[in-house]
């Protein structure tokens, strides 16, 4: 960036409504320049998912986390307020907190013993008399907080851009799907310890595409689908839809892939769970009304909140956070979000069921990871080719329906197209998209779920 | 884990089980897994047995039923896992990883029930796949049952010493 000549090709995306094709230049997954642009534009200016407030339930709790390569302290101060500080001593830059998690009132730098309260104030500077005007100096040396921090339904977001729009404006229609998660149980939801921390050899956008791509489910997860069928559950791709929610956020609505713990019973959950599910379902209808309870309980949702949050509201509920490390490497962190007041047998069933699908040791996620790692290796084949028009990936599926105004299916690629259109804006690649022909009037078919 | 007493033998189900017998069992299992004999592996479990891999941030005392895990297989899932791995549609392991296992520091102690005893052991599993070579280091925390046909797993648990799973190191094989 800066004064260096740009080397990424233009356009990155070719969208053609005459040919009904949508193609993404594979440099998007490979280029160091694109990666630097994403760090500088997307990760520095949009809202980023930091963590869930139930990860630090008590005063003085803290976790460390990295967003956009920046080490952060995610903590609750002694008075109970949630903060995100740069995990770096204001004095000389040392990583201040070198534990992954814990409880403390004070963070002390081991290098020169500068000490800070968990609300960011300086607590002690050894030999402070050596500094002139020490009171002012001291006040200027508090922990550096992130410019913005807002919470929606327990999900804590930060922005490194002080001018970011209010979080709820940014989330738009995605916000209500997060509210639906919170509404699933009267007692609310909480994260559990036991975080799946793993890394993949693939670009972060491949992880987003994979989550928004129902087309891969049957072939990639053939063995898992087989397991579901054998355990007495019909699996289907029919009547499942994909939605663009604006600002790059996407949603898959799934009704045919597995049951939902405490919402939709299936034989592999056992008879006791059937009784508990019926009772919970009745309570939901009472609390939320018939229609809202239907949308909250009877369909699975995979929600993507641009750029780094995926909520898998399927059999159980997994929060997945993406942290790009390099063009071809992504750190993934996944937490289980569960009802705070849950029957122990249901909880055990939930954990077993969720883990059987989701995570790097499950029966399905490893095949997803295999898929996007294989894309990352395979797209080298057309890099720098003499026929640059071959160096594109195709995401046209479902455009014919989209042109006719028919709601896109989960097995189409419409949600991925919505992601890429927003990615062009978010990366500031103004000449990054070439549109041929007439775009349909509306990509945003809202859903009336209230 | 609670402290493991380093014993040469343990009394269980009315007989004495020696460390050498347990070591032979674990070495045989390593050989079976490294040769991708998954039917042979499943035969080392008693019906109803479990297979668990806690997450890398696991702390002693955490129950897999109340925390996130990498693997939390009951008997049905364990069978489904084996069936899946034998399928050529288990894409994450097709072609298969090459693995090589070292098992060491074997220690025996009493179990919580009369008919089972605990085994702690260290492992190093090397795995080659996709042009990469990864090492997995940790310890086993197993419950074993002596039977007329030899030892069997009641619980097979692998605890990783890693801070997280490195890039490409997903657990699509048996650890």
Pairwise CB contact (< 8 Å): A356 & B64? no
Contact B80 A363 (CB under 8 A): yes
B163 touches chain A (CB under 8 A): yes
Report the chain B residue with the minimal C-alpha distance to residue A218.
B89
Q: Do A363 and B164 touch (CB under 8 A)?
A: no
Gap from A331 CA to chain B (nearest CA, Å):
8
Cross-chain residue pair A334–B77, CB shorter than 8 Å: no
Q: Alpha carbon of B101 to those of A20, A111, A345, B41, B160: distances in Å?
A: 52, 41, 36, 14, 14
Q: Which of B72, B75, B162 to mutate to test the interface with A (most CBs of A within 10 A)?
A: B72
Residues 106-145 of B with CB under 8 A from A: 130, 132
How far A82 CA sits from the closest chain B CA (Å)? 23
pLDDT at A393: 96
* Entry pTM: 0.95
For A404-429, write each residue's pLDDT tens digit: 888 888 889 999 999 999 999 999 98
Q: Considering only alpha carbons, which residue of chain A is nearest residue B173?
A: A361
Q: How far is A184 from chain B (nearest CA, A)?
A: 19
Contacting residues of A for B93, CB less than 8 Å apart: 366
Contacts B81 to A, Cβ<8 Å:
363
The pLDDT tens digits for A49-84 are 999 999 999 999 999 999 999 999 999 999 999 999
pLDDT top residue among A229 and A307: A307
CB-based contact B171 A231, cutoff 8 Å: no
Across residues A232-246, what is the average pLDDT? 82
Per-residue pLDDT band at A7 (split at 50, 70, 90) = low
Provide the CA A300 distance to its chain's centre, in angstroms. 16
What are A144-168's pLDDT values in tens digits? 999 999 999 999 999 999 999 999 9
Spatial CA neighbour of A197 closest among B48, B36, B24, B167: B167
Integer Cα distance of A420 and A56 in angstroms: 34
The helix or strand, by DSSP H or E, that contains position A175, with its residue range, turns out to be helix A174-182
Average pLDDT over residues A218-234: 81
Out of B58, B71, B90, the one facing A223 most closely (by C-beta) is B90
> So what's the pLDDT on residue A114?
96
Contact A361 B170 (CB under 8 A): yes
Q: Is B161 on the interface with A (CB under 8 A)?
A: no
pLDDT tens for residues A272-296? 999 999 999 999 999 999 999 999 9
Q: Nearest by CB to A369, which of B77, B92, B175?
A: B92
Structure tokens at A200: 């993949």
ipTM: 0.94
- Which residues of B are less than 8 Å from A216 in CB distance? none
Cβ within 8 Å, pair B70-A355:
yes
pLDDT tens for chain B, 175 residues long, are 445 556 789 999 999 999 999 999 999 999 999 999 999 999 999 999 999 999 999 999 898 889 999 999 999 999 999 999 999 999 999 999 999 999 999 999 998 899 999 999 999 999 999 899 999 999 999 999 999 999 999 999 999 999 999 999 999 999 9
Residue A322 has which token pair? 């993406």
Any idea what DSSP says for residue A55?
G
pLDDT for res A2: 43
Does the distance separating the beta carbons of A200 and B67 come in below 8 Å? Answer: no
Q: For B81, list phi and psi in degrees, rounded to 5.
A: -65, -45
| Residues in B touching A320 (Cβ below 8 Å) | none
Smallest CA-to-CA distance from A440 within A411, A418, A409, A416 is with: A418
User: Which burial class, exposed, middle or buried, applies to B7 when counting CB atoms under 10 A from its CB (0-12, 13-18, 19+)?
Assistant: middle
- B72 and A356 in contact by Cβ < 8 A? yes
Chain A hits for B175, Cβ within 8 Å = 361
Distance from CA of B75 to the nearest CA of A (A): 11
Q: How many CB pairs (< 8 A) connect A and B? A: 143
Q: Identify all chain B residues contacting A361, using CB atoms and an 8 Å cutoff.
A: 53, 69-71, 170-172, 175
> Residue A258's pLDDT is what?
73
* Adjacent-strand bridge partners of A332: A198, A322
């Amino acid at each position: 960036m800066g004064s260096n000549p740009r080397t990424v090709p233009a356009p990155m995306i070719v969208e053609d409504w005459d040919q009904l094709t949508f193609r993404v230049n594979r440099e998007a997954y490979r280029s160091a320049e694109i990666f630097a642009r994403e760090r500088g534009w997307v990760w520095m200016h949009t809202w980023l998912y930091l963590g869930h407030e139930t990860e630090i339930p008590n005063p003085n709790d803290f976790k460390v986390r990295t967003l956009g390569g920046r080490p952060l302290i995610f903590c609750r101060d002694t008075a109970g307020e949630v903060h995100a500080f740069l995990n770096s001593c204001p004095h000389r830059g040392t990583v201040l907190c070198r534990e992954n998690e814990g409880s403390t009132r004070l963070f002390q730098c081991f290098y020169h013993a500068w000490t800070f309260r968990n609300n960011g104030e300086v607590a002690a500077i050894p030999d402070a008399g050596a500094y002139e005007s020490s009171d002012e100096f001291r006040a200027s040396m508090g922990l550096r907080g992130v410019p913005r921090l807002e919470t929606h339904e327990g999900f804590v977001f930060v922005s490194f851009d002080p001018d970011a729009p209010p979080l709820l404006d940014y989330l738009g229609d995605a916000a209500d799907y997060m509210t639906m998660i919170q509404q699933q149980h009267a007692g609310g939801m909480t994260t559990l310890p036991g975080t799946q921390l793993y890394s993949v050899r693939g670009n972060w956008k491949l992880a987003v595409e994979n989550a928004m791509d129902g087309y891969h489910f049957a072939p990639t997860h053939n063995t898992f689908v087989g397991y579901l069928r054998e355990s007495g559950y019909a699996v289907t791709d029919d009547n499942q839809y994909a939605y663009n929610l604006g600002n790059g956020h996407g949603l898959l609505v799934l009704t045919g892939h597995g049951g939902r713990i405490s919402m939709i019973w299936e034989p592999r959950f056992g008879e006791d769970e059937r009784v508990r599910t019926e009772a919970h379902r009745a309570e939901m209808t009472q609390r939320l009304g018939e229609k809202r309870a239907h949308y909250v309980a009877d369909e699975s949702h995979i929600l993507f909140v641009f750029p780094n949050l995926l909520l898998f509201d399927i059999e159980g509920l997994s929060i997945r956070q993406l942290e790009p490390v390099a063009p071809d490497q992504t750190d993934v962190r996944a937490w289980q979000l569960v009802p705070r007041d849950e029957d122990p047998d249901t909880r055990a069933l939930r954990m077993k069921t969720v883990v059987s699908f989701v995570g790097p040791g499950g029966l399905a996620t490893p095949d997803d990871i295999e898929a996007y790692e294989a894309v990352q290796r395979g797209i080298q084949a057309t890099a720098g080719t003499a026929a640059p028009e071959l160096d594109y990936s195709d995401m046209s599926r479902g455009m014919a329906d989209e042109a006719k105004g028919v709601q896109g299916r989960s097995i189409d690629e419409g949600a991925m197209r919505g992601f890429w259109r927003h990615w062009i804006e978010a990366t500031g690649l103004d000449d990054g998209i070439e549109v041929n022909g007439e775009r349909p009037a509306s990509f945003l078919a809202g859903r009336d779920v209230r | 884990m609670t402290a493991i007493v380093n014993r040469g033998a343990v009394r269980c189900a009315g007989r004495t089980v020696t460390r050498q017998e347990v070591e032979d069992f674990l070495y045989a299992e390593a050989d079976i897994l490294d040769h991708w004999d998954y039917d042979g592996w499943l035969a080392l479990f008693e019906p109803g047995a479990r297979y668990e891999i806690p997450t890398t941030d696991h702390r002693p005392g955490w129950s897999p039923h109340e925390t996130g895990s990498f693997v939390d297989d009951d008997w049905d899932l364990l069978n489904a896992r084996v069936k899946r791995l034998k399928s050529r549609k288990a894409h994450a392991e097709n072609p298969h990883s090459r693995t090589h296992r070292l098992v060491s520091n074997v220690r025996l102690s009493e179990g919580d029930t009369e008919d089972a005893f605990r085994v702690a052991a260290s492992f190093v599993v090397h795995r080659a796949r996709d042009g990469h070579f990864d090492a997995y280091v940790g310890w086993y925390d197993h419950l074993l049952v002596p039977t007329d046909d030899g030892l069997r797993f009641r619980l097979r648990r692998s605890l990783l010493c890693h801070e997280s799973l490195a890039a490409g190191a997903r657990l699509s094989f048996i650890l």
